[in-house]
Amino acid sequence: MSDKKLKCGLPQDEAELRKLLTPEQYRIMVENGTEAPFRNAYWDNHEEGIYVDAISGVPLFSSEDKFDSRSGWPSFTRPIDSAAIVEIEDLSHGMMRVEVRAKGSNSHLGHVFDDGPAPTGLRYCINSASLKFIPKKT
């Protein structure tokens, strides 16, 4: 893999990851890409449930913390467990941002910004392709 591709912390090589993920998921999660706004699976999802890492299945975000940021990507005020994510300074594209990665799989999820609503003031802007939605059982 090139330096721009991540090396996943799970015991999967590149070929196994390509089998597990769609080409779009691979581009986003492994190659640190971004999906198009308003044209992704979860930006407008209003069902109750949790969002897990598409590689490891670790719970990352809850529908209880999801809000409409009008950005076109699913946005959350906080992760379920901050120990499940890693935040890294990202100076790419001429901007100062904070990248969000899944700790278990080391996959790219999106970015976190400080323009979110109360109570945290944070906006975790996450690629749908990095997530799998698990609906709440009623």
Question: Domains, the chain, ranges and CATH?
Answer: 14-135 (2.170.150.20)
Catalytic-residue membership of 8: no
Q: Which residue has the tokens 């993920």?
A: 21
119 cis-preceded (ω within 30 degrees of 0): yes
Q: Output the tens digit of pLDDT for each of the chain's 138 residues.
A: 333 344 444 545 788 888 889 999 999 999 999 999 999 999 999 999 999 999 999 999 999 999 999 999 999 999 999 999 999 998 888 888 999 999 999 999 999 999 999 999 999 999 999 999 999 986
Structure tokens at 87: 């935040």
Rounded Cα distance, 57 and 52, in Å: 5
Alpha carbons within 13 A on the beta-carbon side of 104: 14
Q: Which of 54, 125, 126, 129 is catalytic?
A: 125
pTM score of the predicted model: 0.88
